[in-house]
Amino acid sequence: AQPHAPITLDTTSVDDVVGGRRMRRNRRTDWSRRMVRENTLTVDDLIWPIFLTDGEGVREAVPSMPGVERVSIDNAVRAAEEAAKLGIPAIALFPNTDPKLKDEMGSEALNPENLVCRACRTIKAEGIDVGLMTDVALDPYTSHGHDGLLLGEEILNDETVEQLTRQALLQVEAGADVIAPSDMMDGRIGAIRQALDRADHRNVQIMAYAAKYASAFYGPFRDAIGTNAALKGDKRTYQMDPANSDEALREVELDLAEGADMVMVKPGMPYLDIVRRVKDTFLVPTYAYQVSGEYAMIVAAGQNGWIDRDKAMMESLTAFKRAGADGILTYFGLEVAKRLKAGA
């Protein structure tokens, strides 16, 4: 028997079907693909998060985020220098706080000598030309791992906002350029903006974690800053329901009205529809956070040989641009900046 018996089709030719419209024509050569490309990732799109820890000369691996380390301030200075040299516009600082310093109130957030404040002062004193972003929320400092003050089962909104405002002021006094509230309390952007203006910090920018979802993708981050074990319950009374989209637009609208200069959607990849809606609706600088769980999935699948890690990394970041993001917070930041510089 013939394996491929010729079949006579009684249909029109492809030429007749497409009528001259062949989408593959533009894809044939590299130069043409580059010429018709709609979105391009550049180093200017990258914001690189850095995890801080106590001590000197310390570099600790974060097991659930292979390739990511917690570093002491001296090494954070080096990291900031490296980022600046590569042209990364901004870095974001997150502290792994000594458990002994954590309490119910998250008092350490108001210590001007806490890790984040010391890191800001040190990096600024070195005159490194990179934007310094700090996270405003209480979770690195509370014994219960929540972003706000806990009374019984309830996260208190207004009392938390007052503490967050003080935290933001301390960070700014220590040298932070961009304040990034990630707590999802109501009214915190307005309260922080007002306090900053009154204290003559009119030029300090606010990037609001405006649409932040109660997500399972934050797991490795909570390992990195040491809050996973402690966290009581979940964050669904303040972070958004993953099922909602219109609500994200209302969150963004409020944060902008309260004075946010830039807004963020978080997590990233599973929420690209939200990025697109926010960008199209408000036409403001819109960022996405490719969070720890997204990073871990790409790296782990790559380690298993199940996907091409580097290609998946570049593709995922390009997808943020296509969705309308003006920039991406990503743990791949430094690595991608190096690749882009090398022209890879």
Give the interface with ligand PBG as residue ranges (CB under 6 A). 135, 137, 139, 147, 182-183, 218, 221-222, 235, 291-292
Cis, bond preceding 285 (omega within 30 deg of 0): no
Give the integer Cα–Cα distance in Å for 86 and 92: 16
Minimum distance from CB of 218 to ligand PBG (Å)? Answer: 4
Cβ proximity to ligand PBG: between 183 and 251 the closer is: 183
| 279 carries an active-site annotation | no
240 contacts: CB under 8 Å, gap ≥ 6: 184, 211, 212, 213, 214, 247, 248, 251
Least distance (Å) between residue 234 CB and ligand PBG: 9
251 annotated ligand binder: yes
Considering the candidates 85, 102, 124, 212, report the single residue annotated as catalytic: 212
Nearest-angstrom CA–CA distance, 6 and 2: 9
Q: Closest distance between ligand PBG and the C-beta of residue 90, in Å?
A: 15
Between 41 and 225, CB nearer to ligand PBG: 225
Query: Do strands 327-330 and 262-266 pair parallel, antiparallel, or not at all (unpaired)?
Result: unpaired
Catalytic status, residue 212: yes
Alpha carbon distance 249, 246 (integer Å): 5
Question: 343 — phi, psi (to 5°)?
Answer: 75, 20
Q: For residue 13, give the amino acid letter.
A: S
Q: Which residue is nearest to ligand PBG (CB)?
A: 221
Which residues are 288's β-sheet partners? 265, 328
Residues 6 or more apart whose CB falls under 8 angstroms from that of 339 comprise 310, 314
Residue in this structure with the two tokens 């969705």, named with its chain if needed: 323
Residue 108 · residue 225 · CB < 8 Å: no
- Label each residue of 214-238 as H, E or C: CCHHHHHHHHHCCCCCCCCCCCCCC
| Catalytic residue from among 85, 102, 235, 266 | 266
Supply the minimum distance, in Å, between the C-beta of residue 283 and ligand PBG.
25
Question: Between 81 and 214, whose beta carbon lies closer to ligand PBG?
Answer: 214
Question: Smallest gap, in angstroms, from Cβ of residue 175 to ligand PBG?
Answer: 20
Q: Which is nearer to ligand PBG, 65 or 249 (CB)?
A: 65
Cβ proximity to ligand PBG, 221 vs 320, nearer residue: 221
Nearer to ligand PBG, 218 or 332 (CB): 218
Residue 146 beta carbon to ligand PBG: minimum distance, rounded to whole angstroms: 9
Annotated binding site: 251
- Binding-site residues for Mg(2+), in ranges, read 251
Q: Which residues are catalytic?
A: 212, 266
